[in-house]
Every structure is written in structure tokens, then in C-alpha cells.
Homo-oligomer: A and B are copies of this chain.
């Protein structure tokens, strides 16, 4: 029954020695589970996200190439709620300053290029917040689990991912990588729901059950990917997600924290406010 504090969310940072087995998907560190507490936090974070994003966007308009941006990479097993989490967090943002990209099965054209080709198309512009629903990490997860690529290629991809993310960071792109960590039991409930409700059928794919059979291999691949790509400039956070609302709260907080650290002020006017005020009053 504690209060959710800054260090609880930041404590979800993975790091180089991260072990996935240490994270129980059902825990909610620092959170009592009270509905009133949750609603109050959502309201507070939403208010702050609203202003921080507008400030970021304003800086993008004013400074163009010089302004920072934010890239949020969401990964997780089927039914972990990546899309819902993005929707929930992004609803407070001005859509003109954000972009959400879902990466599904690569097209033939995409397969004919390097695996980062389709990713690079969506590099954040200055002032923009971009969310990836799945990402370049699929190329070292599903492809590795199914052995569609050999381990040498996996190594090459990890090196390419590290270079890519470092390059982004060098262009003032703040990166947050999030793994929504659910249990197999939780996934089972979610999959069942998709076969039981008319408004959920469209989300169900029979091949999800085959993927589920590779659970342990996926967990091993996630752990390795997280350990090999967690960097100061591209940190991984592993959010326990059997309680979806908890995970969303933690995600909102992490985004608040990332945006706060940009220490953005409102752009200075490139005109004389008092003079322009007078021009408006005199006009017409």
C-alpha cells in the first residue's frame, strides 16, 4: 500500500545485467491499486504531458533542425496491449505533433531492403513524438526465435541497431524503449476474449497460438535484446503489464520524465510583442 513514486517507475529500467526472470508481470511496484489514486495520477500526468508536448512542438516549429524529439518504442507479446497503451497516452497530444507507426509483417519491398530501411522512414522530425508499435526489434526477436536468420546475422543486426540508435541520439532524438511484460496466463485470458466477442474477432489470428508455443524462446530473445541494446541514450524499461492500468500509468510517467529532462522553455518571440499588439489594435 505505498505511494507510486518517481523511483518506482525509474526502477523499471533494465540495464546490462537485466534478468527477465526477476520481473513478475503481475506486480505493481509502489501502487496500491486504488481507483481514486489511479484517476488522480492519470489526470496529473495527462495535464503535464499536454503542456510538455505543446512546448516540444512549439520548439520544433521555432527552431526546426535544432529542436529535440521523442521516440517511444513499444514491444511485447501478442495481447500485451501495445496499441492500447499508445492510444491511451497519445490521446492528450496534438496529433499534428505526433505519429504512430505499426510495423507488421514486412512487405516484399521492405524485405528487398536492409531491415532498418522501413524504420528510418519514420525517424522523428524535430519537435515530434513518434511511437513504434513493434519496431526494428522484431528483426532480432521473431526472426531469431524461428531461426529465419543465423546467429551471425543476429549479431550484425544488433550492431546495426546500436549504431542506428546512437545516431538518432546524436540528432537530439530522445529514445524510450518499453517492453510490456505479460504472463502466459494473462495472454490466455486475452486470447480467449478475442474468440468470445464479436467486437474482438478482428484482433484474433489463429497463428497467435503457434507463436505462443515459443514463449520461452521469446523471453530468452527479449532478455538478450534488452541486455545488448540498453544504453544511457536508449534505455529499456520493462513494465509489469498483467495489470494494464498500472503499465499505462508507468508509461505516462516515463514519458513525463523524458520530456521534463529536455528542459524546454517556450520559444522566444521573433517579433516585438508590444509593437505587434499595437499593429493589431490599429488594423482595420
A91 proximal to B (CB < 8 A): yes
Tell me how many chains of this kind the complex includes: 2
Cα(A206)–Cα(B279), bound, Å: 9
Cα(A94)–Cα(B86), bound, Å: 8
Q: Cβ of A95 and Cβ of B98 under 8 Å apart?
A: yes
Stretch at the interface among A29-37, A110-118, A228-236, A268-276: A268-276
A284 proximal to B (CB < 8 A): yes
Q: Cβ of A277 and Cβ of B196 under 8 Å apart?
A: yes
Task: Give 1 or 0 for each of A89-117: 1 = CB within 8 Å of chain B CB.
Answer: 01110111010101000000000000000
By CB atoms of chain B within 10 A, which of A206, A213, A280 has the most? A280
Q: How distant is A86 from chain B, measured CB to nearest CB, in Å?
A: 7
Q: How distant is A279 from chain B, measured CB to nearest CB, in Å?
A: 6
By CB atoms of chain B within 10 A, which of A62, A133, A266 has the most? A266
A54 proximal to B (CB < 8 A): yes
Contacts A199-B266, A213-B283, A284-B188; A87 near B95 (Cβ below 8 A): yes
Q: How distant is A129 from chain B, measured CB to nearest CB, in Å?
A: 11
Task: Give 1 or 0 for each of A156-191: 1 = CB within 8 Å of chain B CB.
Answer: 000000000000000000000000000010001001
Can you give 18 A-B contacts (C-beta < 8 A)? A54-B199, A58-B202, A90-B95, A95-B131, A188-B280, A188-B283, A192-B277, A195-B273, A195-B276, A195-B280, A196-B273, A199-B266, A201-B268, A202-B269, A209-B276, A212-B283, A212-B284, A215-B284
